[in-house]
Each structure stands twice: as C-alpha cells, then as structure tokens.
C-alpha cells in the first residue's frame, strides 16, 4: 500500500511559535541559507475582497514585520514567493519588511518551485 503524505501547511524546516514581535511567528528548526526559496506566501486575487489583492497562505499569514528582515518576497506569475536574504539559524524567527508596494522584481522565478 502506498503511504500518503499528510498535508503540510509549511515547509518541513518551518514551524509556528510564540513571537517576541507580535503574537505568533514563523521559525526555523534548521539552518536556512541565504537565497533559499521557502515557497508561496501570497496568491493574487483581484476580486477586491482581500487586502492588497492577495490571499495569504500559512507561510504569509504568520510572518511578522522587521525593519531588518531576513526574508523578502518576489513575484512569480500570480504568486508572491518568499526567499531568505541572509543565513538564518535554528530557532530564529523569519521576518519580512511589510511593503506590498513593490515586491522584489530582481529575482528570477524558478518554475520548479
């Protein structure tokens, strides 16, 4: 019998924990390297029903703001994906600078991720 892998709302290395910034946040259980793709954080939806016309995935929904973030968003078609911008140690909280004005457009979309 084939084993079916259960749904995981976050990549295996990431988990939701208590944040010293605000409420809950996303943390890593393993070292993350600079420029590591973490997955889809937002899905474009132009219905007008969602803030900034994006639906947040679990990855995007628990990210906290920092003026000195360790992650950033980049556009990939109808998605915003997240990547690390520096090395991140186990137990560290992942953060973004909340600015939906202009997601990073200098990062090439990898169609396999």
Q: What is the pLDDT of residues 13-50, one digit of tens each?
A: 999 999 999 999 999 999 999 999 999 999 998 888 87
For every residue of 54-96, DSSP letters joined together read EEE-HHHHTPEE-SS-SEEEEEETTEEEEEESS-B-TTPEEEE
pLDDT over 90 at 87, yes or no? yes
CATH entry 2.170.270 includes domain 35-113? yes
State the pLDDT at residue 110: 54
- The reported pTM is 0.80
| Per-residue pLDDT band at 8 (split at 50, 70, 90) | confident
Q: What is the pLDDT of residue 102?
A: 53
Q: To which residue do tokens 């995007």 refer?
A: 60
Pairing of strands 37-44, 54-56: antiparallel
**Residue from 68, 112, 65, 90 nearest 14 by CA:** 90
Q: How many CA atoms lie within 13 A of 14 on its CB side?
A: 25
The residue ranking higher by pLDDT, 46 or 69, is 69
Backbone angles phi, psi at 68, to 5 degrees: -125, 70
């Amino acid at each position: 019998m084939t084993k079916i892998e259960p749904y995981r709302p976050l990549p295996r290395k990431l988990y939701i924990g208590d944040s010293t910034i605000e409420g809950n946040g996303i943390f890593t259980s393993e070292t993350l390297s600079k420029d590591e793709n973490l997955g889809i954080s937002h899905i474009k939806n132009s219905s007008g029903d969602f803030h900034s016309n994006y639906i947040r995935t679990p990855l995007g929904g628990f990210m906290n703001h920092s003026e000195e973030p360790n992650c950033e968003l980049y556009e990939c078609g109808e998605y915003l994906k997240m990547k690390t911008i520096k090395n991140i140690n186990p137990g560290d909280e992942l953060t973004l600078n909340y600015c939906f004005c202009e997601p990073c457009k200098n990062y090439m979309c990898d169609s396999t991720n």
